[in-house]
Chains A and B, each alone.
Chain A
Amino acid sequence: MSNQSTNSTGQVHHLRRMTVAWVILSVIGDVLFSIFVAPHVPPGRLTETAAKDQTDFNVLFEMAIPVLFGVWIYLGYSLVVWGDKRNKDAAFSGDAARHNTTTIVSWMAVTTVTVLFLAGFGTYALVVDHGSGGGQGPNPAFAPSGALKAETAALVGKATWAPGSKNVLPVQVIGQQWKFTYRYPTFGGFESSQLVLPADTTIAFNVTSLDVIHSFWAYQLGVKADANPQVNDVAFTTTKDPGNFIVRCSELCGIWHGAMYDSGQVESQSSFETWATTTEAANAANTALLPAFAWTYVPSANGAGGGYYPNTQDPFSKVEVYGSGTKSAA
């Protein structure tokens, strides 16, 4: 389009005007955004994961602002200047109005480069941030170092974590209709309806479900992982300072989906250890009744006392069974 506006005699330089306005407004927009909005963009900076997600967010916002302004300025300019009442010139027509190789090729080149940059940047962010807090399934492709070791140890009851140790802390998140509960394999496998985490620690959330699909969304941690039945969906985050965060279910799971939320705390390493050992002791009687710690559980598909499928569960299942009645009386 550009050469059309310049070589027609008497034409104003429409595109040049628009470009100047676009550059000025985009720079102003980006600067204002980075000063006033960027620090408040979700999910905040409570964890390293969240902070990196926020940076990604801001990169996208800074790129979106020029795109939006570009189209808006063009639209606005067109409507004002080329309305049939205002525009005294004849409408642009003929072959030149139908095709312009320079414009088409440069448009395609700019969009392609932008898109490839975004995909590359997103991939880079995803890989260096160990999946960016998203659920990666049972075999995380982008696990931080030490994660696999911690998970293996957790399964055989030998996971260790202590204040000052740089070990990964596995925490199991169990979704059920309609509440999340949490198991800590490092502390004897006790289960709690409270979620407490130590500061300055890499956490491996092992998210699973006892029934339908839920989604564990720890907003300020920058973590979201679907809870699928019989799937161990692993998501990583590295906590920094103490603080509170909200946990919500973000996959529709039935009547009380909207009420399936609670809050969690990141505490200092020592107070976390105190909480964990105290709760381990307080819950010991109940922990003894729980099935051995496992990545997934096969609860009865029938519910209490009979239900949908005629047989209760797969007799050849090797995983631990919730609610099967196999535990003897305590």
Chain B
Amino acid sequence: MTISDERSTEVSGPVSGHPHEARRLSWTQRPGLLSQNIITAIVFAIIGYTIGHWFGNYLASGYSYIANSGQNSIADTLALAFGVVGWLGGIGALNYPFAKLFGVDGLEEESPVDNWTKYFRYTLDHKVVGLQYVVGVLLFMFTGGLLAMAIRTELLNPTTHVFSPDTYIKIVSEHGTVMMMMATSIIVGPLGNYFVPLMIGSRRMAFPRIEALSFWIFTAGYMVIFSALPYGGFPTGWTGYAPLQTQSGPGMVSYLLGFAVIGTGMILAGFNQAVTIINYRAPGMTWGRVPVFVWSILATASLLTLATPVLFAGGLFGLLDKTVQTAFYVDEHGGSSYLWQNLFWFFGHPEVYIMALPGFGIAGELLPVFCRRPLFAYKVSSAGMIGVALLSFFVWQHHLFQSGINPDMRPLFMLTTELISIPTGFIYLVGLGTLYRAKIRFEIPMLFVLALFFNFLIGGVTGVFLSDVPVNVTVHGGFFVLSHFHYTIMGGLLFAFMAGIYYWMPKMTGKMMNKKIGKWHFWLMFVFFNLTFFPMFIIGLLGQPRRVFTYATNLQGLNDFSSVSAFILGFSFLVFFFNLVYSLWLKPEVAPANPWESLGLEWQTATPIPSYNFERIPVIMTDPYRYSEDGAPAYADLGTSGAPDTTTPTMA
């Protein structure tokens, strides 16, 4: 097949850019804020919330357990559920499905006027959704981070309490849940949505409406999980163990429903990414030419799609236990407290790889650019990510090593857990191999990638400690675990996110992030991340359990050290936010077209990126990452010059 043949099979035009003049504008297409937008969403959400709350009170306020407790979880559940539906209806997410349902044809959401209001509307362009996600996850991260500061404030002193113990548990639980929800989307949402189509040479995601829907569900989930605070919070931590879950007040509804809402968005987003990557790759992009970042998103997407439904079902059972008094998780009435633990961790362990794999992807993507040499063992890196994704479904009971369930299976789960070190080791092989005889450019994104390898190593090695059952007896449920997963998720994923933001911001906004402030940000974050969490390994080994408001007085020194470091770590995020404001708004500096001299496809198109991404669908000519290689052909033929192609390579 020749290139010209390939070109003739291009996808049928961009999403927007239809000849609107030919038709009367529908109300959904009215420009700017005249159509549905975030304000109508808020109004509809409030109306939905009110109706749901009234309906719940109407249904249930007569029951004795509700009268006695004075807290009506049914009203709160219905209020939140109706509120979410109102929010989605108000933003316009339901117009198209309903139009289809009633046989109305040709409803178009896109406004012909392109201005800033698209960021506050139900916009289908993956680049808009990507930027919406950037703001969304940063908001999530900022609120979750503030709660972390509150935790470290309470732990400054073992006997003097800033918060009462119930308030402290609420803060801990809210922090954990918010951060977990944020971390599942922090790369897939912003960078995945923005760059996967660009990196595979596509003009769109496979399902633009589902993509926009997943973002607006994500924002609804944010509001649902924060509704826990005015409802009085929930005391279970992010793991939500039943039957404590069943015992707690209406704040628990926010947790259960919040995970169901966020989970729906995760399933949709994962499904959309997987379909896009499989079907929308540019001609010539065989599986051996897919960028590793795209591989990582594909592996993550498969986990999102397959693991999250388990959480959704588990949360629904909990919601039923909490509202209509079923007993899925209550032993006395025929349920089992183990059921939640199994369901939760069956989701929960793939979940932690949902939070690790995109980080590996960014590391693999950025290393060749800043090492100026090809990625070492490309196939090993994609095999590693797929291997991790597959194995992650077979390890969940290592969270239950001391729970009393299935003692004879412990050697098996110890083995599967430790086996995960092998594909994870592939990532290190690729990373270290790529550094070999490189010409390393110490730009800010590269610093974050190097820090990821440093941090994740400590997280990974301590993970092996945790997987060893005899050692797990001492470290399970203590600060050691806490530090371990902060090293993997924060030290890995969050550092990768920062690398990605510094690396791709010039493409997304056309402006360079300030390097000097960036260096301050990096060093503060890297040094104080380690000073915050490394002492926690020792605190854990010395016997401090997680989620306690008081601790042994001899551990105060270490806890205070960790707290003070945490405050400076928190400050480093303010430096980051300042850098964003400074570089994008206060003193913007126009970015060169390809500031890092990357060969990646996303850098080959114009900046700002046209709404259809590529003038012509590019044709991928060769392997990615052929840096410093004399005579290597360009990664892609963009066919923009109009000059006739002289080569007619055979497509694999």
Indicate whether A129 reaches chain B with its CB closer than 8 angstroms. yes
Contact B333 A314 (CB under 8 A): yes
Contacts of B457 in A (CB 8 A): 67-68, 71-72
CB nearest neighbor in A for B631: A94
Contact B244 A84 (CB under 8 A): no
Contact B373 A258 (CB under 8 A): no
Q: Mark B403-431, 1 if CB is under 8 A from A, else 0.
A: 11111101100110011011001101100
Indicate whether B458 reaches chain A with its CB closer than 8 angstroms. yes
Output the least CB separation between B428 and chain A (Å): 7
Q: How far is the CA of A248 from the CA of B471 in the complex (A)?
A: 17
From known contacts A42-B543, A91-B437, A313-B332, infer whether A213 and B477 are also in contact, taking CB-CB under 8 Å.
Answer: no
Q: How far is the CA of A310 from the CA of B477 in the complex (A)?
A: 34
Contact A94 B244 (CB under 8 A): no
Contacts of B402 in A (CB 8 A): 134-135, 215, 224-226
Indicate whether B581 reaches chain A with its CB closer than 8 angstroms. no
**Cβ-defined partner of B471 (8 Å) among A60, A115, A217:** A60
Indicate whether B641 reaches chain A with its CB closer than 8 angstroms. no
Contact B474 A57 (CB under 8 A): yes
Indicate whether A157 reaches chain B with its CB closer than 8 angstroms. no
CB nearest neighbor in A for B472: A134
- Interface-side segment among A188-196, A227-235, A270-278: A227-235
Indicate whether A240 reaches chain B with its CB closer than 8 angstroms. no
Contact B435 A230 (CB under 8 A): no
Q: How far is the CA of A139 from the CA of B406 in the complex (A)?
A: 9
- Interface-side segment among B130-138, B352-360, B461-469: B461-469
Contact B550 A259 (CB under 8 A): yes
Q: How far is the CA of A68 from the CA of B325 in the complex (A)?
A: 51
From known contacts A84-B441, A118-B468, infer whether A131 and B407 are also in contact, taking CB-CB under 8 Å.
Answer: yes
Q: How far is the CA of A99 from the CA of B422 in the complex (A)?
A: 19
Indicate whether A97 reaches chain B with its CB closer than 8 angstroms. yes
Indicate whether B70 reaches chain A with its CB closer than 8 angstroms. no
| Chain A 223-266 residues near chain B, CB threshold 8 A | 223-226, 228-234, 246, 248-259
Output the least CB separation between B448 and chain A (Å): 14
Contact B453 A71 (CB under 8 A): yes
Indicate whether A3 reaches chain B with its CB closer than 8 angstroms. no
Q: How far is the CA of A246 from the CA of B478 in the complex (A)?
A: 14
Indicate whether A168 reaches chain B with its CB closer than 8 angstroms. no
Contact A108 B422 (CB under 8 A): yes
From known contacts A78-B435, A93-B629, A223-B473, infer whether A257 and B411 are also in contact, taking CB-CB under 8 Å.
Answer: no
Contact B419 A126 (CB under 8 A): no
**Cβ-defined partner of A107 (8 Å) among B425, B439, B464:** B425
- Interface-side segment among A23-31, A147-155, A286-294, A301-309: A301-309
Output the least CB separation between A95 and chain B (Å): 9
Contact A119 B442 (CB under 8 A): no
Indicate whether B626 reaches chain A with its CB closer than 8 angstroms. yes
Output the least CB separation between A29 and chain B (Å): 13
In this complex, how many residues of chain B approach chain A with their Cβ under 8 Å: the count is 101
Output the least CB separation between A318 and chain B (Å): 14
Output the least CB separation between B618 and chain A (Å): 22
Output the least CB separation between A3 and chain B (Å): 12
Contact A60 B546 (CB under 8 A): no
Indicate whether A142 reaches chain B with its CB closer than 8 angstroms. yes
Contacts of A306 in B (CB 8 A): 64-65, 68
Q: How far is the CA of A78 from the CA of B428 in the complex (A)?
A: 14
From known contacts A212-B241, A258-B165, infer whether A107 and B437 are also in contact, taking CB-CB under 8 Å.
Answer: no
CB nearest neighbor in B for A88: B439
Q: Mark B321-365, 1 if CB is under 8 A from A, else 0.
A: 000010100111110011000000000000000000000000000
Contact A134 B465 (CB under 8 A): no
- Interface-side segment among B304-312, B376-384, B492-500: B376-384
Indicate whether B371 reaches chain A with its CB closer than 8 angstroms. yes
Contact A309 B325 (CB under 8 A): yes
Contact A224 B473 (CB under 8 A): yes
CB nearest neighbor in B for A311: B333
From known contacts A98-B378, A250-B477, infer whether A255 and B169 are also in contact, taking CB-CB under 8 Å.
Answer: yes
Contacts of B144 in A (CB 8 A): none
Q: Mark A22-52, 1 if CB is under 8 A from B, else 0.
A: 0000000000000000000111000000001
Which one of B64, B68, B543, B547 has the highest number of Cβ atoms from chain A below 10 Å of its Cβ?
B543
From known contacts A230-B331, A309-B333, infer whether A79 and B477 are also in contact, taking CB-CB under 8 Å.
Answer: no
Contacts of A1 in B (CB 8 A): 433, 436
CB nearest neighbor in B for A255: B166
Q: List 8 extra interface pairs beyond A57-B474, A79-B440, A225-B402, CB under 8 A.
A: A41-B541, A53-B474, A68-B461, A78-B432, A222-B474, A223-B473, A228-B404, A257-B169
Contact surface of B with A, Cβ cutoff 8 Å: 64-65, 68, 165-166, 168-169, 235-237, 239, 241, 243-244, 246-248, 325, 327, 330-334, 337-338, 371-378, 380, 401-408, 410-411, 414-415, 418-419, 421-422, 425-426, 428-429, 432-433, 435-442, 450, 453-454, 457-458, 461, 464-465, 467-474, 476-478, 541-543, 545-552, 623, 625-629
29 contacts between A and B (CB under 8 A): A42-B543, A71-B428, A71-B457, A72-B454, A82-B438, A87-B437, A94-B629, A98-B377, A103-B433, A111-B421, A115-B419, A126-B410, A134-B402, A134-B473, A138-B404, A212-B243, A217-B545, A224-B473, A228-B331, A228-B404, A230-B332, A232-B404, A248-B543, A250-B476, A251-B241, A252-B169, A255-B169, A308-B247, A309-B333
The 6 closest A-B pairs by CB, nearest first: A233-B404, A258-B548, A250-B477, A132-B470, A92-B437, A137-B404
